[in-house]
Chains A and B, each alone.
Chain A
Amino acid sequence: MRRLQWGYLFVAFAFIYLPVASLVLFSFKDGSLPLPPFEGPTLRWYAEVFGDRRLMAALGHSLMVAVGSSLTACVLGFLAAYGLARHVLPGSVWLRGLLIAPMTVSYLIVGLGLLIVFNQLGIGLSLWAAGIGHVVINLPLCFAIIYASMGAQQQNIERAARDLGAGEVRVITQVTVPMLAPAILAAFFLAMTLSWDEFVIAFLLTRFEVTLPVEIWSLLRSGLSSKTNAIGSIVFLGSAAIVLLLELFIFGRRRP
């Protein structure tokens, strides 16, 4: 029985991690095709990736879009959550529903819609457009996470701050935001990983300057290569680092 349990655990983790592991493994292969047999190891492909100006530019664009769009989504999501959690508004159930609904719409549809709107408005395709697209998909998520963390207990704490003489701005900056920091940071990092990985919207809405997933895609069109494995590994390491930071500094600290 014991052996069966460990066996199951091993198979489950293998199922999840084997693709990533083989990707990382063959990024060290000394040969242009990322297929067995393994030769090497070598850091040649990493050197090539870091030497590729287009790829490095795409990496920078991705970071910019991810940080910028997540920050915007968090600020907007926080303000919406604060408003809806703290004030009685007519039809607030509908407002909440409308804010969360875009989560159910596929990225392809959101991207197409934005493409049509930007075309109609004469707004050119750019990193800005992709960033706006990422705000659209991440705002519902940020709103939902932050809204869920605003309970009656937090409301009483804000009331206490007002009672002790704090104005609305100081209540938000000195009490609400620091108090909800775990939820806000969780929303921010989650939005960042989603934006960092996002392809469809970035592909539809960028033109000359592109994000890393779009750049990788255009590399893939010329066939598999160990170089793409190296980029994939870097992207994976970036996402993993964010999740690790999230776990260590936010979720870890919540349990005293």
Chain B
Amino acid sequence: MTAPITIESLCHDFQDFRALSDIALEIDAGEYIVLLGPSGCGKTTLLSILGGFIVPSRGAVKIGGRDMTGVAPAKRPTTTMFQDYALFPHMTLRDNVAFGLRMRGMARRERHARAERLLELVGLHGDAGKRPHELSGGQRQRVALARALAVEPDVLLLDEPLGALDLKLRRSMQDELKSLQREFGTTFIHVTHDQEEAMAIADRIVVMNRGRIEDVGPPERVYQQPASLFAANFMGETNRLPATRGPQGLETPFGHLAAPQAPSGDGPFTVCLRPEQIRSGTDGWSLGSARVGDSAFFGTHFRCHLHCDDDAETTLIAHLPPEVQPRPGARLTLSVDPARLTIFAAEGAAP
């Protein structure tokens, strides 16, 4: 029960507002895809188009090789899990989960047995006779998941499914979602604005911004080698250094940088350094000496604000290992591995 999806040059306008422009994406059968972006980036619109709730202004959606662009939600091999769960308040959990099967004409005994098996699978064994209002948020979420999976869809669409849960529950539900997805083999498309959630569960992350796809790839690639400045910023903390084209490589506040990965053009450029790339030491590209400002302990690292001597205007954020003892006021010599830096044309620069 799984299918690949092809999205071809999809555009959608809400009156004058362009919600999606020129979206193209290939999704393999059985993949766990996360659509990641800030609110208003078009990720929910894209999900609604995949679910059949919105017919796009232009472009096509193919699921399992068949054109589904204008097909109604009921006739698609997709089910949607709504953000507010949208459980039927007047039905028992058993009837909630069995609803899709009932619509398909399955006999009562059979569909109830199947519903109970699914409830057991999501850890609600013995609660089949309860009604949704008797459950906690996390339990409702599980019922919604069981209800969506009961009809054995090829594609499951999840609209910010963990948004209403507290952090701890969210982390444990992430693991459950991922293991259920592996078990069923269904293609999952999951919308979120939480970058950590995306990294925790996605096979591939689709970073979206202002109706466009900024980057598509496995979490580690999108994090380490983002395709755009937006993706670099959105996928976690990053230090940005301004740079211009010099005679050999780039000129930065920390001096000359030989960077073959810099894009062509005259600049200006933005050099992105992840906080954990900054090291205390001298090998690699030197950032000179710096004084530690604030420093907070996070278990695996200290998160520090570093005031650099070479460039008084720049405060770098670094994650330093506890052995370095980066206490406030301490002086450190900093460097980074230049091969791991990512460099983009600065915002507003001509491409």
- Residue of B52, B53, B103, B133 most packed against chain A (CB within 10 A): B103
Residues on A with C-beta less than 8 A from B99 are: 161, 164, 166
Q: Report the minimum CB–CB distance from A50 to chain B (whole Å).
A: 40
How does the 8 Å CB contact mask read for A155-192 relative to B, with 1 for contact and 0 for none?
01101111111110010000100110100000000000
Q: CB distance A178 to B74 under 8 Å?
A: no
A160 pairs with B90, CB closer than 8 A: no
Check if B68 is an interface residue, CB within 8 A of chain A. no
Interface residues of B in 61-91 (CB under 8 A from A): 72-74, 78-80, 82, 84, 86-90
Nearest residue, chain A, Cβ from B79:
A163
Q: Which of A137-163 contact B (CB under 8 A)?
A: 153, 156-157, 159-163
* Cβ distance A153 to chain B, nearest Cβ, rounded Å: 6
Tell me if B226 counts as interface (CB < 8 A to partner A): no
Do the beta carbons of A165 and B104 come within 8 Å of each other?
A: yes
Residues from chain A with a CB closer than 8 A to the CB of B72 are 162
Other-chain residue from B86, B90, B147, B151 in contact with A159 (beta carbon distance below 8 A)? B86
| B133 contacts A256, C-beta separation under 8 Å | yes
In the complex, A166 Cα to B151 Cα: how many Å? 12
| B51, CB-defined interface residue at 8 Å | yes
Query: Which of B74, B82, B87 sits near A167, CB closer than 8 Å?
Result: B74
Chain B's closest residue to A164 (CB) is B100
Say which residue of B52, B79, B90 sits within 8 Å of A164 (CB atoms).
B79
Task: Write the nearest CB–CB distance from B193 to chain A, whole angstroms.
Answer: 19
Which of A153, A161, A164 sits near B151, CB closer than 8 Å?
A164
Contact between B133 and A162, CB atoms less than 8 A apart: no
The size class of the interface chain B forms with chain A is 20 to 34
Task: Tell me the total A-B contact number using a CB cutoff of 8 A.
Answer: 58
Query: In the complex, which range does the number of interface residues on chain A fall in?
Result: 10 to 19
Q: How far is the CB of A162 from chain B (nearest CB, A)?
A: 5
What is the CB-to-nearest-CB distance from B343 to chain A, in angstroms, rounded to a whole number? 44
In the complex, the answer to whether B88 meets A175 with C-beta atoms within 8 Å is yes
The reply to whether A164 and B103 contact each other, CB–CB distance below 8 Å, is yes
Q: Of all chain A residues, which has the CB nearest B103?
A: A165
Is the pair A179, B90 in contact by a Cβ cutoff of 8 Å? yes
Residues on A with C-beta less than 8 A from B88 are: 157, 160-161, 175, 179
- Find chain A residues with CB under 8 A from B103 CB: 164-166, 170
A185 CA to B147 CA, complexed, in Å: 29
**Which residue of chain A has the shortest Cβ distance to B73 in the bound complex?**
A163
Are A159 and B74 interface neighbours, CB within 8 A?
no
Q: Which chain B residues numbered 82 to 120 have a C-beta less than 8 Å away from chain A?
A: 82, 84, 86-90, 99-100, 103-104
Partner of B89, one of A164, A165, A179: A179
| B87 cross-chain contacts in A, Cβ below 8 A | 157, 160
Residues of A within 8 A of B82 (CB): 156, 159-160
The chain A residues found within 8 Å of chain B, CB to CB, are 153, 156-157, 159-167, 170, 175, 178-179, 181, 256
10 contacts between A and B (CB under 8 A): A153-B84, A159-B82, A159-B86, A163-B80, A165-B74, A165-B100, A165-B104, A175-B88, A179-B89, A256-B133
Binding site for A on B (CB under 8 A): 51-53, 72-74, 78-80, 82, 84, 86-90, 99-100, 103-104, 133-134, 147, 151
